Amino acid sequence: MTFNDFNFDPQLFEGVQSMGYLKPTPIQEQAIPLILDNKDLIACAQTGTGKTASYLLPVLQHISTTDKKHTKALILAPTRELAQQIDQQVEGLAYFAGISSIAVYGGGDGMVYEQQRRAMMDGVDIIIATPGRLIAQLSSGVIKLSHVEYLVLDEADRMLDMGFYEDILRIISYIPAKRQTMLFSATMPPKIRTLANTILKNPEQISLAISQPAVGILQQVYMTFDNQKIRLISGILKNGNYGSVLIFASRKETVKDLNRTLKREGIKAEAFHSDLEQEQRETILRAFKARTLPVIIGTDVLSRGIDVEGISLVINFDVPPDPEDYIHRIGRTARAETTGTAITFVNEKDQRKFSYIENLIGREIERVPLPEELGEGPAYQPEVKRKGTFKRKKPLTNNKKKVI
Ligand code: AMP
């Protein structure tokens, strides 16, 4: 299949070519025809699969054939980083088609709020918003969503995790019932199904064989005690010839501590977490994209929002709380068919959580011995019950195709 097969408007096709997309990804092959055919859709797809363009392209195609007086499409996303990233893809894809968009998210100053409000009042074609900020704008009563025909919920599971369920329903109450709705989610827990039953009409369902990291990622693991981790990470960063590096830690405090320690070691790094102002986050991401900042250390906030080409190494300083987050974290490297390395540090307490990850991806990750000068790491004994270890509430999904 090629992008020619979708019969896009020539200007939209030009946008696809200018983005350098040569052929549709599997999710695009499946989702684009359904959305072009006006079907509601529930799709289980992760970031890194090309899911954003899989809904943007058909929505842009729909919009390109209608008048451009009112807002026609609303895309809801959990974080400002994801909202911005979607907006950037719209800008690229819709550049020649002359379709306008605005990303609406919290955290900016009064001027940003006013800019967002103006764009929405002027009937921008596509609004990409985080739910909280959109509610604030809607409450002012000036913005109308009464001409919206296309509604997309992106990373719906993450939005529900962040407590946006009620906000989403409230936003939808401003949108006509006669609309096309598309829900994208990396996981399909029961609450997503409940939401889907409430807001979708006879949806088509797509389920990619998910939970598989991109093939280009070399995955490795070190069994290590906590007091060996710092020496290990600075050794890797100093000795390896890595370009752009992302380091993940589950807690904000760990991120901040690690940032201080690495800086002391002479490594140029910045911390990225929810305490930062929007502007600080953007400055960090800009420097990282411009390759003047080689290392970012972040919480999982970072794993959903960052879309930077050429990240060569991802390090999990600890094992993420949810096995799916592992896929999200390491999916930041080897984007769109390049190669990259993902290294995970597993202490004795995280071994069981780590075994769930291997269970989820259906294979063993390569064990790398610690450098000799660090001494022995812990033996791998995931079955041993330890105080304070991870407890799973639900049975494990194994490496099967997800059934919605
Ligand atoms: P996503 O899963 O939407 O976060 O997309 C992951 C990355 O793949 C983004 O950088 C997209 O610009 C890129 N991408 C999307 N579709 C394609 C395609 N058909 N060919 C190559 N790259 C793509």
pLDDT by residue (tens digit) across 34-77? 999 999 999 988 776 789 999 999 999 999 988 778 999 999 99
- Of 207, 230, 249, which marks where a domain is finished? 207
The reply to whether 178 falls in a domain is yes
Q: Residues 122-150: what's their mean pLDDT?
A: 90
Q: What distance in Å separates the CA atoms of residue 167 and residue 158, rounded to the nearest whole number?
A: 14
The reply to whether 23 falls in a domain is yes
- pLDDT, position 115: 83
- pLDDT, position 175: 96
Give me the residue label for tokens 């054939």. 65
- Of 207, 238, 265, which marks where a domain is finished? 207
Q: Residues 99-118: what's their mean pLDDT?
A: 85
Ligand 1, atom 1, lies closest to the CA of 50
**The domain containing residue 323 runs over which residues?**
217-374
- pLDDT, position 222: 98
- Give residue 388 CA to ligand 1 midpoint distance, Å: 39
Q: Break the chain down into helix, strand, coil percent, rounded to 5.
A: 40, 15, 40
Are residues 198 and 257 located together in one domain of the fold?
no
Are residues 203 and 342 located together in one domain of the fold?
no
Nearest atom (ligand 1) to Cα of 92: 12
Question: How many domains would you assign to the chain?
Answer: 2
> Cβ distance 45 to 81 under 8 Å?
no
- pLDDT, position 253: 94
Are residues 162 and 268 located together in one domain of the fold?
no
Are residues 124 and 169 located together in one domain of the fold?
yes
pTM for the structure as a whole = 0.63
Are residues 112 and 240 located together in one domain of the fold?
no
Phi, psi at 20, each rounded to 5°: 80, 15
Ligand 1, atom 21, lies closest to the CA of 21
The reply to whether 315 falls in a domain is yes
Q: Residues 372-398: what's their mean pLDDT?
A: 66
Q: Residues 280-298: what's their mean pLDDT?
A: 92
The reply to whether 170 falls in a domain is yes
Q: What distance in Å separates the CA atoms of residue 141 and residue 146, rounded to the nearest whole number?
A: 12
- pLDDT, position 396: 37
DSSP 335-378: GGG--EEEEEEE-GGGHHHHHHHHHHHTSPPEE-PPPGGG----
Are residues 96 and 142 located together in one domain of the fold?
yes
Give the type of residue at 259: N
Q: 395 pLDDT exceeds 80?
A: no
- pLDDT, position 338: 62
The reply to whether 329 falls in a domain is yes
Query: Which of 33-37, 128-132, 136-140, 261-265 has the least mean pLDDT?
Result: 136-140
Ligand 1, atom 11, lies closest to the CA of 50
Q: 347 pLDDT exceeds 80?
A: yes
Sign of CA dihedral 7, 65, 182, 40: negative
To test the ligand 1 pocket, which listed residue (79, 81, 335) has its Cβ within 8 A of the most ligand atoms?
A: 335
Ligand 1, atom 5, lies closest to the CA of 50
Q: Residues 166-176: what's their mean pLDDT?
A: 96
- pLDDT, position 400: 33
Residue 363 pLDDT grade (very low, low, confident, very high; cuts 50, 70, 90): confident
SS3 38: coil
Are residues 74 and 145 located together in one domain of the fold?
yes
CATH of the domain at 194: 3.40.50.300
Q: Residues 94-102: what's their mean pLDDT?
A: 94
DSSP 396: P
List the one residue out of 337, 302, 295, 338 whose CA is nearest residue 320: 302
- Give residue 180 CA to ligand 1 midpoint distance, Å: 23
DSSP 6-34: GT--HHHHHHHHHTT--S--HHHHHHHHH
Residue 10 pLDDT grade (very low, low, confident, very high; cuts 50, 70, 90): very high
Residue 215 pLDDT grade (very low, low, confident, very high; cuts 50, 70, 90): low
Are residues 182 and 260 located together in one domain of the fold?
no
Residue 177 pLDDT grade (very low, low, confident, very high; cuts 50, 70, 90): very high
What residue ranges line ligand 1, CB within 6 angstroms?
21, 24-25, 28, 47-53, 89, 307, 335-336
> Cβ distance 41 to 35 under 8 Å?
yes
Cα 100-105-107 angle, rounded to 5 deg: 140
Are residues 36 and 154 located together in one domain of the fold?
yes
Residue with more model confidence, 198 or 210: 198
Q: 397 pLDDT exceeds 90?
A: no
Residue with more model confidence, 397 or 378: 378
Q: 318 pLDDT exceeds 90?
A: yes
Are residues 59 and 168 located together in one domain of the fold?
yes
Are residues 39 and 145 located together in one domain of the fold?
yes
The reply to whether 60 falls in a domain is yes
Q: Which residues contact 80 (CB under 8 A, 6 or more apart)?
A: 103, 105, 106, 107, 130, 278, 281, 305
- pLDDT, position 217: 83
The reply to whether 305 falls in a domain is yes
> Cβ distance 210 to 45 under 8 Å?
yes
- Of 207, 229, 261, which marks where a domain is finished? 207
The reply to whether 389 falls in a domain is no
Q: Mean pLDDT of all residues in the chain?
A: 87
Residue 373 pLDDT grade (very low, low, confident, very high; cuts 50, 70, 90): very high
Work out the percent of the chain whose per-residue pLDDT is above 70.
90
- Give residue 92 CA to ligand 1 midpoint distance, Å: 12
- Of 199-203, 297-301, 388-392, the range with the highest mean pLDDT is 199-203
For the stretch 309-334, what's the b/e string if a residue is b when 16 or more beta carbons lie within 10 angstroms of its beta carbon? eebbbbbbbbbbebbbbbbbbbbbbb
- Give residue 307 CA to ligand 1 midpoint distance, Å: 9
- pLDDT, position 385: 61
Q: 390 pLDDT exceeds 50?
A: no
Q: Which residues contact 86 (CB under 8 A, 6 or more apart)?
A: 52, 56, 75, 77, 103, 128, 154
Are residues 230 and 294 located together in one domain of the fold?
yes
- pLDDT, position 32: 98
- pLDDT, position 273: 87
- pLDDT, position 190: 83
Work out the percent of the chain whose per-residue pLDDT is above 90.
57
